Chains A and B, each alone.
Chain A
Amino acid sequence: MAEAVESPGDPGTATPRPLMRDLKAVGKKFMHVLYPRKSNTLLRDWDLWGPLILCVTLALMLQRGSVDSEKDGGPQFAEVFVIVWFGAVTITLNSKLLGGNISFFQSLCVLGYCILPLTVAMLVCRLVLLAEPGPINFMVRLFVVIVMFAWSIVASTAFLADSQPPNRKALAVYPVFLFYFVISWMILTFTPQ
């Protein structure tokens, strides 16, 4: 976490961790992602709690029940996790190698937080899938996922683009596009048992 623990005072007193403060910071960053403006709140006070929450939520929702096959949903959770985090690490390394002046964890923070629109898309898709399947069902899900995919890219570009040299923004944004495309593909092709 970016902020240190508050001064505990006497060693004997049990001071609770500033949990509410951390949660509020995470919530504030969620708002910044949903309404992306040119601000550097995500960059200044980076934390990885938000990305962790989002990644775990996404991986849980992308799991299938264990009733359909002897292979249970365990490996799927791990693979979504691995894909998200290693994709974020790869993009971060790429943007650093291209000469960006963003730090490793700041970039991870931004990429993780910008998964929020796609998580919302996953929620919507799961709700839509409760209705009867059909082409209309698919079109609705496709539309929602495309809109959220575009939102993710716009949000992450708003935060990341300033850290790159001005003529190389496209080179840094393209892998972000691929990353969110893969996540959107996973969300779109999800069908529960």
Chain B
Amino acid sequence: MATPAAPAGGARNGAGPEWGGFEENIQGGGSAVIDMENMDDTSGSSFEDMGELHQRLREEEVDADAAAAEEEDGEFLGMKGFKGQLSRQVADQMWQAGKRQASRAFSLYANIDILRPYFDVEPAQVRSRLLESMIPIKMVNFPQKIAGELYGPLMLVFTLVAILLHGMKTSDTIIREGTLMGTAIGTCFGYWLGVSSFIYFLAYLCNAQITMLQMLALLGYGLFGHCIVLFITYNIHLHALFYLFWLLVGGLSTLRMVAVLVSRTVGPTQRLLLCGTLATLHMLFLLYLHFAYHKVVEGILDTLEGPNIPPMQRVPRDIPAVFPAARLPTAALNATAKAVAVTLQSH
């Protein structure tokens, strides 16, 4: 069967370079892992590299498919070696499908590998970065270093979610855990991702030298102060204590973030805009989590239980009776708390 073999061989040779070219591209796809060596945390260009790589792979696929289809059309019209053509076509398609699936699976795996360098931390590093997030540095003349990692910020966001859920525990009322869980996760992740993106956009407008990853890391570590304040004040319900911690701890972590941003921005107006926005959002978020988040939760509880129970009863603002030994002016503090709650509710 030399006659059908010859055109088949010819066509195969014609398709060979494309197949060989594919193998080269797969090797280029293999370098998706190697590309990570070029990544440093001051350039976000690795994502563009990966995107270009995938685009090239797809374009080559489309081109090779079109070329193979044209060739097979020509052979079919020629009516030479019909059976060989069909079997080759089927094998061709199966190979293409398998290769497509393999490259898709590989790109999925490679996407996980993209995040791997951001999780390359030691416990001691995480601990020191947590402590440093509360210490504002005064040197604003040259850009301060921001560690571009995502493990610490991600864990802090999850911790904040857990603390918010812990603060919602009540003993008697019925709670819809799922709705509260969704609200807590949405609030925390929304704040982290949304405010980071917004400040990154402002930083772009103000010509500040900061990348998205660094902004995510900075804001994530800034949530450490929030976690501390909320953890303490959900267990000790004292308004004066909360205001003190809000100013002290919240203020320290905000000052730290502001100092870092100031060191990376030029120009007084830009500095004011960027840092003022960040400080406002950060401090107001803590206020929101302590006061209005309770209202959101009570709104959910109200819709579940109906208006029978007045919401004031479930505001955990009363100083518990277990603190008589502290001789606090509980009546005065309770009155203050109720007045604030009434003011908040009236708005």
Contact = CB atoms under 8 A, between A and B. Distances in A.
B158 A79 contact: no
A133 B174 CA distance: 13
Interface in A53-101: 62, 64, 68-69, 75-76, 78-80, 83, 93-94, 96-99
B307 interface: no
A175 interface: yes
Interface in B65-120: 112, 115-116, 118-120
B329 interface: no
B49 interface: no
Contacts of A75: 178
B324 interface: no
B63 interface: no
A167 interface: yes
Interface in B127-173: 151, 154-155, 158-159, 161-162, 165-166, 168-173
A144 interface: no
A189 B155 contact: no
Interface centre among A97, A138, A181 (most CB of B within 10 A): A97
A181 B122 contact: no
B178 A79 contact: yes
A94 to B, nearest CB: 7
B169 A189 contact: yes
Contact of A178 (B116, B158, B169, B170): B158
B169 A98 contact: no
Contacts of B151: 94, 97-98, 171
A167 B119 contact: no
Contact of B174 (A68, A78, A168, A170): A68
A117 B182 CA distance: 25
A193 interface: yes
Interface of B is mostly: helix
B35 interface: no
Interface centre among B171, B175, B304 (most CB of A within 10 A): B171
A69 B300 CA distance: 13
A188 interface: yes
A191 interface: yes
Nearest to B121: A171
Contact of A189 (B112, B122, B177): B177
A121 to B, nearest CB: 15
B162 A186 contact: no
B176 A76 contact: yes
B181 interface: yes
A29 to B, nearest CB: 27
A171 B156 CA distance: 12
B126 interface: yes
A182 interface: yes
A185 interface: yes
A146 B155 CA distance: 22
B174 to A, nearest CB: 6
Contacts of A68: 174
Interface centre among B116, B174, B178, B179 (most CB of A within 10 A): B178
Contacts of A190: 177
A174 interface: yes
B123 interface: yes
Nearest to B126: A171
Contacts of A168: 122-123
Given A83-B181, A97-B119, A185 B176 contact: no
Contact of B162 (A64, A93, A171, A178): A178
Nearest to A186: B177
Contacts of B126: 171
5 contacts: A62-B177, A76-B177, A97-B151, A171-B122, A185-B169
Given A68-B174, A75-B178, 14 more contacts: A62-B177, A76-B176, A76-B177, A79-B179, A79-B182, A80-B178, A83-B181, A99-B119, A133-B172, A135-B171, A174-B155, A178-B159, A182-B165, A186-B177
Interface of B: 112, 115-116, 118-123, 126, 151, 154-155, 158-159, 161-162, 165-166, 168-179, 181-182, 304
